[in-house]
């Protein structure tokens, strides 16, 4: 065999052996740092809906550990209530919206707090802190919020500065609250379209504006009514809210299949003139009913 050909064979064999030894997966270690953040904290504000009468009413804060490798042991993340974050959100929101109404710190009497730490278990990526909510006594005309911030963790991992704080706004709801649309008749013949927002006040009652009002806050004392749905989920009684001059004319009903109200009431305006109203409204989020046979 010629020397040049022998050299070529030996070189090829060496390359094959090297390639075979190098074909095993290479462990380059962790590709990026472990970083902590609060889920749903983008833009800081998160609105959580809570139903009146629910047995498991709690605010949930989920802390996530972003990493290319799972954590090998339990990680403890410490949170803290941060009123300054709520102040910052209010100021920022007011600059962009002159009609913005400041949110207020949720009173301590309305939640149960024993510990503000979150544990992310080994081989997991997130942990959740549940804070029980007690909605009794909350003012329905105030937007309450609880601001929490990540302040430390047991391993000294990085924290995403833009996602370390969540302002959790509490929104109370029930099976009848929401945005509605329909029409009203100012008897005997004046018809107008209406789009009222019904605000939950208890498990079976909602507050709504009179038919000619869009729901401005400055009219709450004189132009709103309270609808209470009976145990049969059909009958409805109407009472004035605060100083409103409203009278229940009877025979008001609720259709739970269509999520719609038929209301009969009268109200007296600031000039002493009384109007009788028949109003039909349907929840905009109600499922579409197929009327075909």
CA pair distance 231, 204, nearest whole angstrom: 8
Q: Vertex 45, ends 219 and 135: CA angle to 5°?
A: 60
Q: Report pTM.
A: 0.82
pLDDT number for residue 287 = 83
pLDDT number for residue 70 = 87
pLDDT number for residue 71 = 92
List 228's β-bridge partners, or say none.
205, 237
Run of H or E residues at 89: helix 83-96
Low-confidence ranges of the chain (pLDDT < 70): 1-32, 214-215, 289-293
- Nearest alpha-carbon partner for 89 in 133, 173, 146: 146
From residue 70, alpha-carbon distances to 38, 61, 76, 87, 117 in Å are 18, 21, 15, 36, 20
Asked if 60 and 129 count as a contact pair (C-beta separation under 8 A), the reply is: yes
Do the bridges between strand 246-248 and strand 35-38 make them parallel or antiparallel, or are there none, so unpaired?
unpaired
Cis amide leading into 188 (omega within 30): yes
pLDDT number for residue 168 = 98
């Amino acid at each position: 065999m010629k020397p040049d050909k022998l050299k070529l064979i030996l070189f090829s064999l060496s390359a094959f052996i090297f390639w075979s030894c190098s074909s095993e997966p290479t462990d380059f270690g962790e590709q990026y740092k472990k970083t902590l953040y609060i889920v749903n904290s983008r833009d800081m504000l998160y609105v959580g809906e809570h139903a009146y009468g629910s047995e498991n009413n709690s605010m949930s804060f989920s802390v996530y550990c972003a990493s290319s490798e799972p954590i090998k042991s339990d990680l403890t993340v410490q949170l803290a209530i941060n009123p300054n974050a709520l102040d910052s959100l209010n100021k920022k929101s007011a600059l962009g919206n002159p009609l913005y109404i400041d949110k207020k710190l949720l009173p301590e009497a309305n939640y149960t707090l024993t510990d503000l730490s979150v544990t992310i278990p080994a081989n997991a990526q997130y942990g959740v802190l549940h804070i029980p909510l007690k909605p009794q006594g909350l003012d329905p005309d105030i937007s309450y919020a609880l601001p929490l911030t990540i302040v430390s963790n047991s391993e000294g991992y990085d924290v995403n500065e833009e996602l370390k704080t969540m302002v959790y706004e509490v929104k109370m709801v029930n099976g009848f609250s929401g945005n509605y649309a329909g029409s009203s008749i100012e008897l005997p013949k004046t018809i107008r379209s209406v789009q009222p927002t019904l605000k939950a006040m208890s498990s079976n009652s909602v507050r709504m504006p009179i038919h000619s009002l869009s729901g401005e806050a400055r009219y709450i004392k004189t132009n709103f009514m309270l609808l209470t749905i009976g145990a049969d989920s059909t009958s409805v009684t109407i009472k004035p809210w605060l100083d409103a001059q409203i009278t229940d004319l009877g025979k008001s009903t609720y259709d739970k299949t269509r999520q719609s109200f038929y209301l009969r009431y009268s109200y007296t305006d600031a000039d002493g003139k009384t109007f009788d109203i028949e109003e039909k409204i349907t929840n905009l989020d109600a499922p579409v009913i197929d009327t075909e046979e």
